[in-house]
């Protein structure tokens, strides 16, 4: 299937991209790796008149550690982040990114593109929610036209453990459900906990009920099971019985029933928390 017609514009740098977006108007769209946008064009889910390609924008291609943050520019591919030495400073991102699609897609798809696309079942938006990632925007005051220039993930430190767990029907598929967990321990008790879920809502969701169960307590297997239960109990299915949104039409990717999805999510929270606690305990 061919995409609808569009004109193609290559941005030299971030400022040029914003100028192009402003000048071309509301029917212009940013093209990063194209791994979500091009399928949407082929499926006629989007029909932009102009694509502004930021893949070779000179100032958007960096990965660096800066003031306790891992900073990833908008043109950086998922594969480049996965292979970088810097990503080890954010273990949750390092673990989750290997589950995103397959290597050829990660070689084109960008981290920021995945966050901007914000699929409810994708790994990286869920990681960003769990870690409280920050975005740097580039915009002009003159006209609409805005791009995410970079994303900043907080770097792990101290007795903190992070873990990702997901279940997908096949490795590389979008998960049925996935969970991100971050746990900080002081003297054997939890002083900081973050739990986020994908696949169970119309966006990645923090699970404050699970975090409250853990806070200030010793993370025994029973407590972790109670936290996982609380995470899922707080979610309500939509009237049509399923809360998850997909980039693919439902007919092409039938969604499992809510009860099954919730059960899968609960298991992923338990696994992610168990590993995060174990990793926190291993820190000196
Ligand atoms: C077969 C297949 C399987 C996949 N499996 C998975 C999976 O298991 N898990 C997963 O997470 N993803 C999966 N993906 C999606 C993949 O990770 C995409 O690479 C990613 O979602 C989008 O990144 P991109 O760089 O390709 O963005 P694009 O497709 O180029 O853009 C996506 C959207 O974000 C906007 N955008 C891009 N960059 C910016 C920016 N800097 N500022 C503002 N807006 C921007 C675009 O305008 C567009 O609307 C899969 C894709 C395919 C084709």
Helices 221-233 and 258-282: crossing angle, nearest 10°? 140
Atom of ligand 1 nearest to the CA of 74: 41
Atom of ligand 1 nearest to the CA of 36: 29
Q: How many angstroms is it from 187 CA to the middle of ligand 1?
A: 41
Q: Tell me which residue of 68, 88, 276, 70 sits closest to 182, measured CA to CA.
A: 276
CB 112 within 8 A of CB 151: yes
Q: Count Cα atoms within 13 angstroms, Cβ side, for 198.
A: 30
Q: How many angstroms is it from 248 CA to the middle of ligand 1?
A: 13
- Please give the chain's pLDDT, 284 residues, in tens: 788 999 999 999 999 999 999 999 999 999 999 999 999 999 999 999 999 999 999 999 999 999 999 999 999 999 999 999 999 999 999 999 999 999 999 999 999 999 999 998 999 999 999 999 999 999 876 556 789 999 999 999 889 999 999 999 988 899 999 999 999 999 999 999 999 999 888 789 999 999 999 999 999 999 999 999 999 887 765 555 554 443 333 333 445 567 788 899 999 999 999 999 999 999 85
CA-nearest residue, atom 11 of ligand 1: 122
Buried b (16+ CB within 10 A) or exposed e, 144-161: ebebbbbbbbbbbeebbb
Q: For 209-278, give the DSSP string.
A: HHHHHHTTS---HHHHHHHHHHHHHT----TTS-----SS-TTTSPPPPHHHHHHHHHHHHHHHHHHHHH
Show the ligand 1 pocket: residues with CB < 6 angstroms: 29-37, 39, 74, 100-101, 105, 109-110, 112-114, 116-117, 122-124, 147-148, 173-174
């Amino acid at each position: 299937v061919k995409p609808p017609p569009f004109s193609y514009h290559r941005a030299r740098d971030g400022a040029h991209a914003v100028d192009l977006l402003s000048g071309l108007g509301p029917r212009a769209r940013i093209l990063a790796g194209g791994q979500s946008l091009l399928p949407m064009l082929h499926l006629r889910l989007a029909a932009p008149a102009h694509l502004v390609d930021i893949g070779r924008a000179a100032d958007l291609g960096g990965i660096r550690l800066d003031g306790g943050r891992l900073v990833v520019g908008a043109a950086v591919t998922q594969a480049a982040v996965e292979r970088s030495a810097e990503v080890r400073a954010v273990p949750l991102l390092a673990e989750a990114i290997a589950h995103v699609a397959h290597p050829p897609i990660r070689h084109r798809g960008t981290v920021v593109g995945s966050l901007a696309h914000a699929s409810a079942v994708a790994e990286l938006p869920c990681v960003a929610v769990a870690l409280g990632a920050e975005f740097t925007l580039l915009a002009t005051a003159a006209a609409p036209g805005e791009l995410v220039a970079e994303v900043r993930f907080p770097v792990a430190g101290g007795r903190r453990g992070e873990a990702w767990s997901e279940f997908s029907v096949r490795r590389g598929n979008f998960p049925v459900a996935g969970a991100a967990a971050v746990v900080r321990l002081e003297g054997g008790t939890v002083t900081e906990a973050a739990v986020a879920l994908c696949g169970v809502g119309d966006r990645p969701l923090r699970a404050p009920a699970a975090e409250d169960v853990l806070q200030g307590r010793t993370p025994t297997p029973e407590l972790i099971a109670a936290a996982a239960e609380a995470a899922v109990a707080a979610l309500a299915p939509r009237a049509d019985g399923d809360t998850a949104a997909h980039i693919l039409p439902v007919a092409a990717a039938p969604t499992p029933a809510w009860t099954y999805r919730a059960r899968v999510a609960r298991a992923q929270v338990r696994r992610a928390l168990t590993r995060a606690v174990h990793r926190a305990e291993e820190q000196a």
